[in-house]
Chain A
Amino acid sequence: MSIYMMEFGVTMIGTFFIGMLAAWIGVQWAIGGTAVWLVLMLVYLMTCTELVRLD
């Protein structure tokens, strides 16, 4: 539960770095790149972790 609540603060730190990335490579590549990363992480979570046992 505490880690879940921590997400709200940590995400803002991530947003800061995504903002820096957007300034560097452009907002489209920043969002697209992190979206690809999200999809890759999800594929990993769906295939290789205990998350599949939850219901």
Chain B
Amino acid sequence: MPHHIRLIAWNIRVGGGRCIELITDQLLGEPASPRNSLLVASRWPVRIHPTGAAPTEPNRWILANIQTPIPFALGAMHVRNRITAPRPYFMLLAGFVEEVLGVSKSQLGSLISIQNVGSLGGSLFIASMPARDRRTMMLYSSLLLGVALIFFAASTNYWLTAGILIVVGLGQSGRMSLGNVLVQSYSEDSYRGP
């Protein structure tokens, strides 16, 4: 008789929303750790499998034996997310700031913060808008992003660049938020995870 095992992976910090504290309290009986760490929960007994070499960050790595009728080993590793919202212009921002604007690293940080103000405004606007004309809004957000990036590339003035980055943030948040919403809306339930 075949045994079916269902493995579910969940990023509590991303998927828990405002209930993170309650979820971790239910699971662990203690408040959430401020550090990223792994938790393996199973209906079957779990034994930590000893590893040959000790990892430098043990909270990011678990190798466990799951005592199912057909035992198996489960390896889980937390990998830092370095690619959320990948934006080529953002990757080049440090070089742009140094080469074109000629300002310090602290001013680079200020530019990033200013852009995030625009993103925050865009996200709040998207969250408050009714569920119609989302396609139009997404396309126009992307168009706004493209046009703003053209001006961003042409700008050699720090304060002008800062103002443009607010518009870039607005366009970026609209493009990403609405793109995500549309993909989720048009996907079958079975493709959206357990």
Q: Within A5-52, which residues are at the interface with B (CB < 8 Å)? A: 8-9, 11-12, 14-15, 18-19, 22, 26-32, 34-36, 38-39, 42, 45-46, 51-52
> B100, A27: Cβ atoms under 8 Å?
yes
Question: Complex formed: what's the CA distance from A36 to B147 in Å?
Answer: 8
Residues of A contacting B: mostly: helix
**Interface presence of B192 (CB below 8 A):** yes
Instruction: Given A18-B92, A45-B139, check contact A12 B149 (CB 8 Å).
Output: no
**Interface presence of B143 (CB below 8 A):** yes
Question: Complex formed: what's the CA distance from A9 to B86 in Å?
Answer: 8
Q: Which of B86, B146, B183 contacts A39 (CB 8 A)?
A: B146
Question: Complex formed: what's the CA distance from A8 to B134 in Å?
Answer: 22
Q: Which of A2, A12, A31 contacts B153 (CB 8 A)?
A: A31
**Interface presence of B5 (CB below 8 A):** no
Question: Complex formed: what's the CA distance from A12 to B88 in Å?
Answer: 7
> A36, B150: Cβ atoms under 8 Å?
yes
Rounded to whole Å, the gap between the CB of A10 and the closest CB of chain B is 9
> B153, A28: Cβ atoms under 8 Å?
yes
In the A-B complex, list the 6 residue pairs whose CB atoms are closest, starting with the nearest: A32-B153, A35-B149, A39-B146, A38-B146, A54-B135, A11-B86
Give B residues with C-beta under 8 Å from A.
83-84, 86-89, 91-92, 95-96, 99-100, 132-135, 139, 142-143, 145-147, 149-150, 152-154, 179-180, 182-183, 186-187, 191-192
Q: Provide 22 A-B residue pairs closer than 8 Å at the C-beta atoms, listed in order of the A residue.
A: A8-B83, A11-B83, A12-B83, A14-B88, A15-B91, A22-B95, A27-B92, A27-B95, A30-B92, A30-B153, A31-B149, A31-B153, A34-B88, A34-B89, A35-B152, A36-B146, A38-B146, A38-B149, A39-B150, A42-B146, A45-B139, A53-B135
